[in-house]
Amino acid sequence: MPSSTPFTVFILLPAELRLQIWRLSCHRRVVEVSYDPEEDRCTTTASVPAVLHACHESRSEALRMYKKSFGTMSHEPRIYFHRELDTLYLPRPPFMGYDDASRSFAGLIGDADCIVHLAIDYVPPSIKRPWETYNKYVLIQSFPKVDEVFLVTDTTPKSSDSFCVGELGLTDPARDELSPDRLLEDVKTSFYYEVGGRLGILERETTTKPLHLPPMILKSKTWIDRRDKNRLVGRGS
């Protein structure tokens, strides 16, 4: 049967099976969220999941899983987020880097306890501001249920950026571009010396002991056709 042939008997399926299909249509997404301190509001580049506007039945079932999130004191939550599947991606602000506003992000929203997957940008030492390592550490710690942090190292080739379509996703970085193990070790060392020194840990410890950090995984940014769900970021990807 050609793939373009419409499936016209879906409505005839048992209700339990239809609802299960709608639930299974929810896939892992990377939801990029930025905070505007002047307007005290969060914005996103992520589109509304298709299951929320396929039909009344699909929307009713999807609303059991997707919740409007990332509201602030002056703005209602408007960004749909699946707390078990989706990854919250907080990109590096362009001017001041991960500044005080970034450090305080979790306190500005009401959803910090619901974030399990978090992604932040890896900041090369050549452009890193003096305050960024500490602010990133505090930011990570402000999400108590996070069990993994994705460090976004780069984007797909610059020549293709103007043709970005589909959903934002994360993929394994090219092996010939960097050494993941060495880069991760450098990041952890930076956290220990820059954050540990600020918190007084180095004064109490004689050996290098890691700070309390969830597992970190290096990823590269990419754009994924919505039909290619298997490449979307998820646990163990």
Note whether 101 and 35 are within 8 A (CB).
yes
Position 170: which residue type?
A: L
Number of domains in the chain: 2
172 and 76 fall within a common domain: no
76 and 89 fall within a common domain: no
116 and 226 fall within a common domain: yes
147 and 217 fall within a common domain: yes
76 and 149 fall within a common domain: no
138 and 224 fall within a common domain: yes
Q: What is the pLDDT of residue 157?
A: 44
Which structural domain, as residue segments, surrounds residue 154? 84-237
Position 12: which residue type?
A: L
pLDDT, tens only, 18-52 = 888 888 888 899 999 999 988 999 999 999 999 99
**Residue 186, domain member (yes or no):** yes
pLDDT, tens only, 47-89 = 999 999 988 999 999 999 999 999 999 999 999 999 999 999 9
**Residue 28, domain member (yes or no):** no
168 and 199 fall within a common domain: yes
**Residue 71, domain member (yes or no):** yes
Residue-by-residue DSSP string for 17-28: HHHHHHHHT---
103 and 202 fall within a common domain: yes
